[in-house]
Chains A and B, each alone.
Chain A
């Protein structure tokens, strides 16, 4: 009797279906809309329109600015913390890490609402500092995404390398700059990409903290509300392109670093 053998590759079917349905299909729809006009004819007008309109370009710059400052703030806060936690011999270390990660378990709009009240208490009228509030809100929201990868990267660091550096005459600062920092770079990079990209589009934070200036996410929403799916899709596609570019760049550093690390 011939029995059909169960092959391991059948296990992949659900995932293939998932990819097809939820990754490939929407992407095709997105590309279709981005390169057609309202009548369904092929056009690149949506793309040229995006790059020739001072409003969309300005919005891109503004989103970039928000994301850049947010990422910088997160990095400045997260790195020392992750470093101290990873290198200290504290007993309840994991508990402290947990405390910083814990906000992630609470719904983000609740957290932002709480932050709004705290900021109102400190600043009085929130409307005077929309940019500052946005950056604070986003940093608060995304900080755990920065801490975790950096912490992991530093924890995994081989202590022997640091001892070797000291044996060879490096001071504390030099050992940190030449050994710890380069080796924790993959952690920094993954942290940066996890903070930077959502910060460019997360308009809900802006909205809840009374910033009336559009970022990329809200711009797409406004195009959709005006039934202009084609223009909105093009913006989404351009964002996707920027993200791809970004990932490629950071991914490159990752490889390079691993090679460098092995050589050290």
Chain B
């Protein structure tokens, strides 16, 4: 999940300058003691994406009635955490919760002197923070499977766990620093009446003349670059030889993270063509425009794709989701603890890890997923509620005519025992269920997009500016001529006025 609210973000960036300046003079730290002054209170400063945690206040009829019990969000997750923490550990905790709009905004906030203990950026920003040595590693106690309050380590999906352990930056695995929260992939939401599944299953749809001015693309340099690379290398990526390579996964990631001069130049050319052929780059309108039928397809993150399809279903307007065959960008938002917030404060670290664990408890995972629409990295382990929730959402009614068996075992368990299969209405195979828990096939062609170094980032950002800006050499002669004529007329008028006034004197 990346940008949600456009205007707020950009305005926020501008406001940052001012706030940052004011805050530099002395960040305010609240060391609140409890009213009677007897008990100590820990303050935990959490910064998360906007609308990315359950804020409670559900209606009675929103209750999720799973086999193992009802789940409903009454209070905010933060209030429930405060209570749970006191009941479990006997320590009062105060959560100061704030939000950010984009990874870059969060980074700017941190650089300008805002202090947080626990933040939830995407994996590439976490990599950046890791390289800059800004993070505190998770403690050994956090990984202790014997502790029943360690909901994270006991519930995290084995698939996600292996990714976090396998991927390293600077010789340290992600898992040492990052506890996952939500994850997803990029793909194309499309209107099946106008777009065929085959066309939607390629990044080349973005500049496909057949869909001229009918596709919107996320206004985001990383996602656009990924799509462009996928489209440029389409032939190679789709070739049998490449797909059957024993090192397929590794090679795919190398290809998709290619930042050579030639690839960047080709991506620029491709994206310029997209700019001329697509409906537009969009920051906020993509979901609504799909639902209202303004556009036929939209590059989207899977979590937002679920939301879009849900919204369209309410108007009986079925949309579908496709994962391009070339490759798809798999992303993770995760909790990390910051050095300048937590420091050596053992009490704060404990509260921060407990906050992660509390949000990883089966019922809370379901609450967050229901509220946010994204997919949690938690599969539940022994706790079946997360899988029950998936079945509750997508399982077919008994009178459903066409059903398909949908296996998501790769996410929920390590053994291939066929225990985690949802019998879903057939259309779900390429709709919400597919976006929420992609098939193993789609996951097999997913690639992580690494954190580019400063030089690469600079080049790609420049590429993006070249795409988006009007180049002065591209302005046509006619425009210059018209401007010159207008300037002449204005000058003549001005001179005449001055002269006339002189004659009045």
* Interfacial residues, chain A to chain B (CB-CB below 8 A): 21-22, 25-26, 29-30, 54-59, 61-62, 65, 68, 109, 120, 125-128, 130, 182, 203-204, 207-208, 210-214, 218-219, 221-222, 224-229, 256, 260, 263-264
Contacts and interface: CB of A to CB of B under 8 A. Distances in A.
A127 B280 contact: yes
A210 B282 contact: yes
Interface in B272-287: 275, 278-285
B279 A58 contact: no
Tell me which of B7, B219, B457, B470 has the highest count of chain A C-beta atoms within 10 A of its own C-beta. Answer: B470
The 9 closest A-B pairs by CB, nearest first: A210-B280, A58-B472, A55-B469, A62-B470, A127-B213, A226-B461, A58-B470, A127-B279, A57-B472
B468 interface: yes
Nearest to B275: A212
A125 B466 CA distance: 26
Contacts of B22: 21, 25
Which of A57, A125, A226, A264 is packed against the most chain B CB atoms within 10 Å? Answer: A226
28 contacts: A25-B18, A29-B17, A29-B18, A54-B472, A55-B466, A55-B470, A58-B473, A59-B470, A62-B470, A125-B214, A125-B279, A126-B294, A127-B278, A130-B280, A203-B10, A204-B10, A207-B6, A212-B468, A214-B468, A214-B469, A214-B470, A219-B469, A221-B13, A225-B13, A227-B104, A227-B108, A228-B461, A264-B504
A88 B505 CA distance: 33
Interface in B1-50: 6-7, 10, 13, 17-18, 21-22
B213 A125 contact: yes
Given A58-B474, A225-B102, A260-B504, A207 B283 contact: yes
Contact of B475 (A58, A128, A222): A58
A117 B486 CA distance: 33
A222 B294 contact: no
Given A210-B280, A211-B280, A26 B18 contact: yes
Contact of A56 (B221, B281, B469, B474): B469
Nearest to A228: B461
Contacts of B444: none
B371 interface: no
A222 B17 contact: no
B210 interface: no
Interface string B275-307: 100111111110000000010000000000000
A30 B473 CA distance: 30
Contacts of B347: none
Given A55-B465, A264-B504, A225 B470 contact: no
Nearest to A233: B17
Interface residues of B, number: 48
B492 interface: no
A213 B13 contact: no
Contact of A26 (B21, B465, B468, B504): B21
A222 B214 CA distance: 25
B85 interface: no
Contact of B469 (A58, A210, A221): A58
Nearest to B501: A260
B479 interface: yes
A264 B285 CA distance: 55
Contacts of A229: 17, 108
B227 to A, nearest CB: 15
Contacts of B283: 207
B471 interface: yes
Residue of B102, B285, B457, B465 with highest tally of chain A CB at under 10 A: B465
B107 interface: yes
B475 A263 contact: no
Nearest to A26: B18
Interface string B99-137: 000101001100100000000000000000000000000
B464 interface: yes
Contacts of A227: 104, 107-108, 111
Contact of B471 (A25, A54, A219, A264): A54
Contacts of B497: 182
B7 to A, nearest CB: 6
B361 to A, nearest CB: 35
Contacts of A226: 104, 457-458, 461
